Amino acid sequence: MDYKKIRTETEAITRNKEDFFQQTGNIYETVSIISKRANQIAVEMKTELDSKLLEFASPTDNLEEIFENREQIEIARFYERLSKPTLISIDEFLNNKIYFKKPDNNPSTD
């Protein structure tokens, strides 16, 4: 998923509590779903950032070259300005973009 194109808040805002348990009926289940999705997004973003920064790594870098690499600094700043994974997952949840499945609470007794 391209998180650079997602337009959501970049800061936490006050939200209506009622919106969070309309889909699940349980606020704790909603928080669990949102947090699991936020972790998935964070891992994807971290992997993407690491792969881009790996292009700048060289085995002969000295301390001066590490601090003076402007392209690497710009890439890191770009990722810092993106919306946080939690805010992205909240937006996805409220817009019904997250697929989740409730476990069967009534196990069959054979």
With a cut of 70, say whether residue 91 has pLDDT above it. Answer: yes
In a domain, 5, yes or no: no
Q: What is the domain count for the chain? A: 1
Measured from the Cβ of residue 34, the count of other Cβ atoms closer than 10 Å reads 22
With a cut of 80, say whether residue 46 has pLDDT above it. Answer: yes
In a domain, 2, yes or no: no
How high is the pLDDT of residue 55? 79
Task: Calculate what percentage of the chain has a pLDDT beyond 90.
Answer: 30
**Neighbouring C-alpha atoms within 13 Å toward the C-beta of 57:** 7
In a domain, 34, yes or no: yes
With a cut of 60, say whether residue 16 has pLDDT above it. Answer: yes
Q: What is the DSSP letter of 25?
A: S
Mean pLDDT of 18-31: 90
Contact in structure between 89 and 34 (CB atoms under 8 Å):
yes
Give me 71's structure tokens. Answer: 């392209």
Give Cα separations from 16 to 4, 82, 89 (angstroms): 26, 24, 16
In a domain, 42, yes or no: yes
With a cut of 90, say whether residue 36 has pLDDT above it. Answer: yes
In a domain, 15, yes or no: no
**CB neighbours of 44 closer than 8 A, spacing ≥ 6?**
1, 3
Cα dihedral: 46, 72, 91, 20 (round 10): 50
Give me 105's structure tokens. Answer: 């609470």
Work out the mean pLDDT of the chain and round it to a whole number.
Answer: 82
Task: Calculate what percentage of the chain has a pLDDT beyond 70.
Answer: 78
In a domain, 10, yes or no: no
With a cut of 70, say whether residue 61 has pLDDT above it. Answer: no
Q: Quote the domain boundaries for residue 62.
A: 20-94
In a domain, 61, yes or no: yes
Q: Looking at the whole model, is its pTM more than 0.85?
A: no
